[in-house]
């Protein structure tokens, strides 16, 4: 998405030039280090490559101006993840995890002092954050999670098992979801979110296994045992209930996935069009075949639809809006968007032929890397079922 109104940052300059600098820098790093996408980085990229990707301090786009960032405007946030996802879906998702799953809830619901301390670190120290909701026995049924917390002198203790938190072992901060264990041993229905600082020994979450993931090679995933103590001020403060706070955050995240989807589908459209112009089969360019044109037209339609979803997200997801009741829009958009991403990738691979079936070709990678988007942040089967019941 192009920005029309100029926006200037005292340190980083004008936004559209900043965005171009970020994107061309990312493009160069990926060209110089193809192993970023072709090797399975179980524990994440090396510190050197993470530093290179974050050289322009891209996460500053999500940070309020008073803490050194760009202000977290929805349109600019979507533009950044779009640019990142055009170059690499994993980088786009990494930024999405940081912004929608960690920074937005912290900006909106954290204690003021903790909020400032944490957010400044995303600009000054290029810190990263993620969200742990899913447990080995409770994924879709997250509200039945068994991670519990208890109020103790000076804070809260939290115990449980989590897995599949994006940036496992790499994030400097986590938001961990847990339910209150009452004195009679029963677990309350509502849940809470706690900020955990991995630089503090008492708050550190242990990684017991790094997963051999199928795609998104640069993002580490795994299993975590949570047995920590956090200060009282690290509990996010819900406006009504913890579940509503989580739904507000998840709905905003689902709506803003459209930025990642737009960059991803635009890249597929560009690559597929170039390929079909240049590839000669039976003495004519692929582009001249009806079936090929049908596939390209469908990818073009996905691009147009995703642009519309992105526009909707840019206008309807400011942080001060309560999105906890926006299930129809968020769930429908998330499921349709991620199904379009997968269909676009499947068509692209068909058009490329055998060469697409290589990890170092963007077509094969695209299919695998976008597949979990249909599963995480609300599995699509359940998203469709919920929309039909609303
Ligand atoms: C790459 C990746 C990244 C992830 N990132 C994160 C993260 O950052 N933080 C985090 O907390 N979690 C994350 N997750 C976990 C993700 O959110 C869960 O995998 C998801 O919620 C589904 O839970 P589950 O895998 O336990 O599947 P299950 O709950 O066992 O469901 C499996 C399947 O059963 C079907 N199903 C389940 N319930 C119903 C129903 N009610 N009606 C119809 N069908 C149903 C669906 O098809 C569903 O896909 C990630 C997962 C992946 C793969």
In a domain, 198, yes or no: yes
Ligand 1 centroid to Cα of residue 140, in Å, is: 5
Residue nearest to ligand 1 atom 17, measured at CA: 376
pLDDT score for 5? 75
Q: Are residues 153 and 83 in the same domain?
A: no
% of the chain with per-residue pLDDT over 90: 97
Using the 3D structure, point to which of 201, 234, 267 is the last residue of a domain.
234
Q: Are residues 222 and 335 in the same domain?
A: no
Report the distance separating Cα 230 and Cα 200, nearest Å. Answer: 9
Using the 3D structure, point to which of 205, 234, 263 is the last residue of a domain.
234
Cα Rg of the chain (Å, integer): 21
Ligand 1 centroid to Cα of residue 134, in Å, is: 8
Q: Is the distance from CB of 333 to CB of 258 less than 8 angstroms? A: yes
Any ligand 1 atom below 6 A from CB of 373: no
- Is residue 57 over pLDDT 80? yes
What residue numbers bound the domain in which 120 lies? Answer: 8-127
Pocket test for ligand 1, best of 100, 145, 376 (most atoms within 8 A of CB): 376
Report the distance separating Cα 342 and Cα 63, nearest Å. Answer: 31
The stretch 10-21 carries a mean pLDDT of 97
Distances (CA, A) of 307 to 67, 82, 261: 31, 11, 9
197 DSSP β-pair partners? 173
Band (pLDDT 50/70/90 cuts) for residue 227 is very high
Any ligand 1 atom below 6 A from CB of 132: yes
How do residues 18-42 score in pLDDT, each as one tens digit?
Answer: 999 999 999 999 999 999 999 999 9
Q: Are residues 298 and 364 in the same domain?
A: yes
Residues shown for the chain: 390
122: enclosing H helix or E strand: helix 112-124
* Averaged confidence pLDDT in the chain: 97
Any ligand 1 atom below 6 A from CB of 379: yes
What CATH code is carried by the domain that includes residue 301? 1.20.140.10
Any ligand 1 atom below 6 A from CB of 384: no
Name residue, tokens 């400032």: 116
How do residues 65-90 score in pLDDT, each as one tens digit?
Answer: 999 999 999 999 999 999 999 999 99
Any ligand 1 atom below 6 A from CB of 215: no
In a domain, 63, yes or no: yes
Q: Residue 134's closest CA among 143, 121, 125?
A: 143
How do residues 362-390 score in pLDDT, each as one tens digit?
Answer: 999 999 999 999 999 999 999 999 999 98
Residue nearest to ligand 1 atom 7, measured at CA: 165
Ligand 1 centroid to Cα of residue 18, in Å, is: 36
Number of domains observed in the structure of the chain: 3
pLDDT score for 1? 57
pLDDT score for 2? 54
In a domain, 2, yes or no: no
How do residues 293-340 score in pLDDT, each as one tens digit?
Answer: 999 999 999 999 999 999 999 999 999 999 999 999 999 999 999 999
pLDDT score for 390? 80
In a domain, 51, yes or no: yes
Q: Are residues 221 and 341 in the same domain?
A: no
pLDDT score for 110? 98
Report the distance separating Cα 226 and Cα 229, nearest Å. Answer: 10
Q: Are residues 91 and 159 in the same domain?
A: no
In a domain, 369, yes or no: yes
* Closest ligand 1 atom number to CA of residue 162: 11
How do residues 157-190 score in pLDDT, each as one tens digit?
Answer: 999 999 999 999 999 999 999 999 999 999 999 9
Q: Are residues 66 and 84 in the same domain?
A: yes
* Closest ligand 1 atom number to CA of residue 219: 1
Using the 3D structure, point to which of 81, 99, 127 is the last residue of a domain.
127
* Closest ligand 1 atom number to CA of residue 97: 8
Q: Are residues 282 and 370 in the same domain?
A: yes
Q: Are residues 17 and 48 in the same domain?
A: yes
215: enclosing H helix or E strand: none
Phi and psi at 26, nearest 5°, equal -65, -40
How do residues 260-295 score in pLDDT, each as one tens digit?
Answer: 999 999 999 999 999 999 999 999 999 999 999 999
Q: Are residues 252 and 365 in the same domain?
A: yes
Q: Are residues 385 and 247 in the same domain?
A: yes
Any ligand 1 atom below 6 A from CB of 166: yes
In a domain, 3, yes or no: no
Report the distance separating Cα 216 and Cα 93, nearest Å. Answer: 9
What CATH code is carried by the domain that includes residue 106? 1.10.540.10
How do residues 107-129 score in pLDDT, each as one tens digit?
Answer: 999 999 999 999 999 999 999 99
Report the distance separating Cα 368 and Cα 351, nearest Å. Answer: 16
Q: Are residues 333 and 275 in the same domain?
A: yes
With 0-12 CB in 10 A as exposed, 13-18 as middle and 19+ as buried, what is 273? middle
- Is residue 4 over pLDDT 90? no
In a domain, 1, yes or no: no
Any ligand 1 atom below 6 A from CB of 96: no
* Closest ligand 1 atom number to CA of residue 131: 9
Any ligand 1 atom below 6 A from CB of 381: yes
Q: Is the ipTM of this complex over 0.90?
A: yes
Q: Are residues 217 and 277 in the same domain?
A: no
Higher pLDDT, 6 or 345: 345
In a domain, 112, yes or no: yes
Any ligand 1 atom below 6 A from CB of 222: no
Any ligand 1 atom below 6 A from CB of 214: no
Pocket test for ligand 1, best of 140, 141, 250, 370 (most atoms within 8 A of CB): 140
What CATH code is carried by the domain that includes residue 230? 2.40.110.10
């Amino acid at each position: 998405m192009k920005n029309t109104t100029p926006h200037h940052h005292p340190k980083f300059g004008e936004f559209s030039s900043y965005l171009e600098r970020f994107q061309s820098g990312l493009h160069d790093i990926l060209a110089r280090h193809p192993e970023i996408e072709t090797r399975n980085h179980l524990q994440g990229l090396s510190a050197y490559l993470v530093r290179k990707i974050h050289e322009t301090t891209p996460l500053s786009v999500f940070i309020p101006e008073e803490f050194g960032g760009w202000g977290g405007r929805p349109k600019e946030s979507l533009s950044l993840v779009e640019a990142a996802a055009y170059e690499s879906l994993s980088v786009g998702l990494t930024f999405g995890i940081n912004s929608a799953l960690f920074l937005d809830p912290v900006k909106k619901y954290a204690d003021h002092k903790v909020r400032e301390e944490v957010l400044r670190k995303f600009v000054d120290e290029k810190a990263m954050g993620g969200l742990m909701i899913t447990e080995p026995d409770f994924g879709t049924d997250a509200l039945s999670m068994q991670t519990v917390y208890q109020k103790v002198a000076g804070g809260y203790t939290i115990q449980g098992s989590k897995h599949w938190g994006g940036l496992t072992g790499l994030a400097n901060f986590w938001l961990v979801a847990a339910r209150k264990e009452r004195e009679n041993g029963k677990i309350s229905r509502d849940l809470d979110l706690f900020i955990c600082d991995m630089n503090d020994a008492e708050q550190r979450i242990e990684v017991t296994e790094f997963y051999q993931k199928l795609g998104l090679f640069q993002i580490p995933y795994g299993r975590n045992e949570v047995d920590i103590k956090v200060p009282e001020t690290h509990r996010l403060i819900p406006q009504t209930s913890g579940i509503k706070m989580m739904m507000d955050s998840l709905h905003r995240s689902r709506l803003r996935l459209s930025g990642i989807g737009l960059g991803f589908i635009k890249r597929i459209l560009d690559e597929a069009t170039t390929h079909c112009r240049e590839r000669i089969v039976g003495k004519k360019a692929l582009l001249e075949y009806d079936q090929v044109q049908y596939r390209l037209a469908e990818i073009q339609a996905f691009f147009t639809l995703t642009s519309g979803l992105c526009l909707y997200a840019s206008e309807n997801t400011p942080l001060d809006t309560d999105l906890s009741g926006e299930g129809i829009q968020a769930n429908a958009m998330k499921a349709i968007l991620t199904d379009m991403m997968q269909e676009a990738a499947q068509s692209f691979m068909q058009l490329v032929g055998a060469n697409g079936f290589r990890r170092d070709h963007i077509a094969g990678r695209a299919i695998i890397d976008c597949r979990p988007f249909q599963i995480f942040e609300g599995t699509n089967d359940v998203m469709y079922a919920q929309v039909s019941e609303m």
